[in-house]
């Protein structure tokens, strides 16, 4: 089932300051497509959790409407929405076994939804198998690893067969290795169930690796959405370009003058299609071309070989960071002189207007 957010705004009143609201989410318009996994991504405080809480009904929007499929659920309470929610801290009942934790949401079902004891157990076992926790049904949460606890939390969210699954930073409490494994698991479970899923994270790599679509937020607003690779390759503004990618994109102050792009005093590229203006020039580490006659000349600090990747670590006086990185193939390592020469290609750099920071 698709979820549509139509012009959603959420303002919180500030205690003691009449009229001075914190706008956590503003004018948010987006449709989460049916059966897909959408990664909601943005820095701390950008409104991700507020948005999730509005989808599940724990918070009411100040303005706008929320639709599940074609029905308006804006005024429906959480229990009537059919949403499964997984929190960062698992929120399991410590005194109950895994089985009892998974059964818990089913025991509160009423009326036509009420299940017999046998039905509840068979549903719990089916979900436990899906998340591969069926070998631990008699343990208490304290006797499980963090990853296993998170699986129980996912099982508990899925056992009522929700129409929507919301995951709020579900991997934050896991170590790096387990994060990788668990995110693959979430992807598998989402594919097997086909349930529309919203996955909140501030980790861009995590979002890019498992999402069908990513949504990048800043200050409560939607900046860009699309397939992860499309957003990575064509960021619509400087913020999105900097938010995605590790090592981060390299950003330089530049100038378009008489059909040429200048970085510092060097004319590094012909840009006959652009008018004179100040720009930011953003180049991903993998998008520099080594070229002995290249016009873009930078002082080299060192060469770093890290497993598969080799980086040239360099600097430039027009850059916004003290050190920059170009990723190259190990066989292309240049004779490390004091400088390195790059040539830039129009289709592999990103130009943003200096004033608006929007893509040119």
Per-residue tokens: 294: 């290249």
Rounded to a whole number of angstroms, the minimum distance from the CB of residue 65 to ligand ATP is 19
Stretch of 37-45, 116-124, 253-261, 327-335 contacting ligand ATP, by CB under 6 A: 37-45
Cβ nearer to ligand ATP, comparing 42 with 285: 42
Binding mask 196-215 for ligand ATP (x = CB under 6 A): ------x-------------
Figure out which of the listed residues 8, 26, 39, 49 binds ligand ATP, where binding follows CB under 6 A: 49
CA atoms of 183 and 170, how far apart (whole Å)? 9
Closest CB to ligand ATP among 83 and 340? 83
- Look at residue 55 and give its three-state secondary structure: helix
Segment near ligand ATP (CB under 6 A); pick from 45-53, 147-155, 223-231, 305-313: 45-53
Number of H helices and number of E strands within the chain? 8, 20
> For residues 202 and 354, which CB has a smaller minimum distance to ligand ATP in the complex?
202
Distance between CA atoms of 76 and 217, rounded to whole angstroms? 26
Q: How far is the CB of 86 from ligand ATP (least distance, A)?
A: 14
Minimum CB separation of residue 178 from ligand ATP in Å reads 20
Q: How far is the CB of 199 from ligand ATP (least distance, A)?
A: 13
- Which candidate, 82, 88, 43, 245, places its Cα nearest to that of 165? 82
Minimum distance from residue 27 beta carbon to ligand ATP (Å): 15
Closest Cα partner for 7 from 27, 31, 23? 27
Is 26 a binding residue for ligand ATP by CB under 6 A? The answer is no
Nearer to ligand ATP, 200 or 281 (CB): 200
Dist. CA 188–CA 40, nearest whole Å: 18
With vertex at residue 279, the alpha carbon angle to CA 277 and CA 284, rounded to the nearest 5 degrees, is: 150
Please state whether the peptide bond connecting residue 275 to the residue before it is cis, i.e. omega within 30 degrees of 0: no
Binder of ligand ATP out of 8, 32, 48, 232 (CB under 6 A) = 48
Alpha-carbon distance 143 to 349, whole Å? Answer: 51
Q: Out of 2, 6, 22, 264, which residue is the one contacting ligand ATP (CB under 6 A)?
A: 22
Of 256-275, which residues contact ligand ATP (CB under 6 A)? Answer: none
Q: Does 24 bind ligand ATP (CB under 6 A)?
A: yes
46 makes contact with ligand ATP (CB under 6 A): yes
* Shortest distance, position 45 Cβ to ligand ATP, whole Å: 4
Instruction: Please state the closest distance from residue 236 (CB atom) to ligand ATP, in A.
Output: 20
Q: Taking Cα atoms as reference points, which of 101, 100, 108, 99 lies closest to residue 80?
A: 108
Q: Running DSSP on this structure, what letter comes out for residue 187?
A: H
* Number of residues counted as binding ligand ATP (CB under 6 A): 12
- The window from 38-46, 65-73, 248-256, 293-301 that contacts ligand ATP (CB under 6 A) reads 38-46
Residues in CB range of 32: below 8 A, 6 or more apart: 2, 3, 4, 5, 38, 196, 198, 213
What is the rounded distance in angstroms from the CA atom of residue 12 to the CA atom of residue 10? 7
Q: How far apart are CA 331 and CA 305, in angstroms?
A: 11
Contact flags string 157-196 toward ligand ATP, x per CB under 6 A = ----------------------------------------
Binding residue for ligand ATP (CB under 6 A) from 5, 32, 47, 232?
47
Of 6, 35, 45, 100, the one binding ligand ATP (CB under 6 A) is 45
Task: Name the 3-class secondary structure at 231.
Answer: helix
Beta-sheet strands, E only, within 219-308: 221-226, 250-257, 260-263, 266-270, 277-283, 289-290, 296-306
Q: Which residues bind ligand ATP (CB under 6 A)?
A: 12, 22, 24, 42, 44-50, 202
């Amino acid at each position: 089932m698709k979820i549509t957010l139509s012009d959603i705004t959420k303002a919180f009143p500030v205690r003691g300051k009449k009229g001075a609201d914190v706008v956590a989410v503003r004018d948010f318009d987006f449709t989460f497509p049916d059966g897909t996994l959408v990664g909601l991504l943005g820095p701390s405080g950008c409104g991700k959790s507020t948005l999730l809480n509005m989808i599940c009904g724990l918070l009411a929007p100040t303005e706008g409407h929320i639709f599940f499929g074609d029905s308006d659920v804006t005024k429906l309470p959480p229990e009537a929405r059919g949403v499964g929610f997984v929190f960062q801290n698992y929120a399991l009942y410590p005194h109950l076994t895994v089985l009892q934790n998974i059964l818990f949401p089913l025991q509160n079902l009423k009326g036509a939804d009420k299940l017999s004891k046998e039905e509840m157990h068979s549903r719990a076992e089916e979900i436990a198998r899906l998340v591969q926790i069926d070998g631990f049904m008699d343990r208490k949460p304290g006797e499980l690893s963090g990853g296993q606890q998170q699986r129980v939390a996912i099982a508990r969210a899925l056992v009522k067969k929700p129409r929507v699954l919301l995951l709020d930073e579900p991997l934050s409490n896991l170590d790096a290795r387990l994060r990788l494994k668990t995110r693959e698991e979430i992807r598998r479970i989402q594919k097997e169930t086909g349930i529309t899923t919203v996955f909140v994270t501030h980790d861009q790599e995590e979002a890019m690796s498992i999402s069908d679509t990513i949504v990048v937020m800043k200050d409560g607003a939607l900046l860009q959405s699309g397939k992860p690779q499309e957003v990575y390759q064509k960021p619509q503004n400087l913020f999105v370009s900097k938010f995605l990618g590790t090592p981060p994109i390299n950003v330089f102050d530049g100038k378009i003058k008489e059909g040429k792009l200048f970085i510092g005093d060097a004319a590094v590229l012909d840009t006959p299609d652009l008018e004179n203006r100040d720009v930011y020039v953003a180049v991903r580490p993998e998008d520099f071309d080594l070229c002995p006659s290249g016009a873009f000349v930078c002082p080299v600090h060192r060469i770093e070989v890290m497993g598969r990747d080799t980086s040239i670590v360099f600097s430039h006086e027009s850059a916004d960071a003290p050190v920059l990185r170009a990723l190259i193939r190990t066989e292309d390592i240049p004779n490390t002189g004091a400088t390195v020469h790059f040539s830039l290609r129009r289709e592999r750099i990103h130009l943003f207007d200096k004033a608006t920071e929007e893509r040119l």
